[in-house]
Amino acid sequence: MEYVEIFEVGPRDGLQNEKRQIPTEEKIALVDLLSGAGFKRIEIASFVSPKWVPQMADSADVLAGITRTPGISYAALTPNMRGFEGAVVAKADEIAIFGSASEGFSKANINCTIAESLERFQPVAEAAKAAGLPMRGYISCVTDCPYDGPTDPAQVAWVAKELLAMGCYEISLGDTIGQATPDSISTMLDAVLGEGEASKFAGHYHDTSGRACDNVEASLAKGIRVFDAAVGGLGGCPYAPGAQGNVATEAVYDRVTALGYTTGLDRDILEKAAVMARQMRAGD
Ligand code: HMG
Ligand code: MG
């Protein structure tokens, strides 16, 4: 059976938008449970301004508190050098820079134009390379932007080209507000795949419109084999109005398994983690 990797982003993307400040121990318990599920990569931290995203302010404590399972890469978002330095001190196993294919979201989310963001990422990329830290890249709003409307696929391809040139080992393509359709995803992928092989890209689909699994399926047809997801379907970005949860890890598991792929994940642990994540949202 062919392998599909699910990259668990629940502890970061799933929790970052929660209004209740979730106690650090609860975050650690979720990561520790997820560490037994069979993931190769789990995103658990974000070294961004605590004024912008208060929920992620304890990222260093989360990284310090988890029980690390050998073979799992515990990942962190790093928008600038300050974030990069925080991630290194906290011993993140890999980092991610995150940009946008639309100017409106770039401004709202990281307070700069796309071109300025690429300039800011350059020293991070150089430092990551020097430190031997793998660096992933995100592109938000790959089909639709909450501020600018539909995104030109050529714009996504351009940002992807720049991030690959900086040394990102993989680019995660974000349908940030969950408005993509299998058609718009396929059109976008056709453009992006002109810049690199399918193995260089991952799908990061939010499920606002309930189409994320269909978009995963459309992406599989284009050769994509890595998908970001969050247990329990938690998530959203504070700077993307209307953005709701990431596609649920268990939903992606069920869809790709039904299609004949293997994920190497333990479905029972995913279910337990989904219950835990939902309770964290509810504040139980
Ligand atoms: P800025 O205001 O333009 O930058 O923010 P600044 O350099 O002027 O800094 C402002 C303040 O933040 C200063 O503090 C800095 O020291 C501090 P003050 O002097 O006001 O007290 N600061 C930091 N603090 C901690 N760690 C840092 C850091 N950098 C500056 N690394 C900045 C620019 C990028 C910092 C800000 O806009 C920011 O933090 N944005 C993050 C937004 C965010 O995290 N969004 C969610 C993640 S992205 C996402 O969810 C999408 C994704 O899932 C894919 C998808 O779905 O599409 C990845
Ligand atoms: Mg996201």
Q: 73-96: per-residue pLDDT in tens?
A: 999 999 999 999 999 999 999 999
Domain carrying residue 13: 5-281
pLDDT, tens digit, 9 for 90 and up, residues 233-278: 998 777 877 667 899 999 999 999 999 999 999 999 999 999 999 9
CATH code at position 158: 3.20.20.70
What is the ipTM, given to two decimal places?
0.98
In short, whether 13's Cβ falls inside 6 Å of ligand 1 is yes
Query: Phi and psi for 66 in degrees, rounded to 5?
Result: -75, 155
- The rounded distance, in Å, linking the Cα atoms of 159 and 157 is 6
Question: How would you label 120-135 residue by residue, b for 16+ Cβ within 10 Å and e otherwise?
Answer: bbeebbebbeeeebbb
Is residue 284's pLDDT more than 70? no
Instruction: Look up 168 and say whether it is catalytic.
Output: no
* Per-residue model confidence (pLDDT) at position 237: 75
Q: Using most ligand atoms within 8 A of CB, pick from 13, 18, 43, 48 the residue to mutate for ligand 1.
A: 48
C-beta 59 within 6 A of ligand 1: no
What's the pLDDT band for 124 if we cut at 50, 70, 90?
very high
pLDDT tens digits, residue range 198-231? 999 999 999 999 999 999 999 999 999 999 999 9
pLDDT in the model for residue 200: 98
Which residue, 169, 178, 94, is CA-closest to 140? 178
User: How many folded domains does the chain comprise?
Assistant: 1
pLDDT for 130 equals: 98
What pTM did the predictor assign? 0.97
Q: What is the pLDDT of residue 148?
A: 98
pLDDT for the residue 242: 64
- Split at pLDDT 50, 70, 90, the class of 283 is low
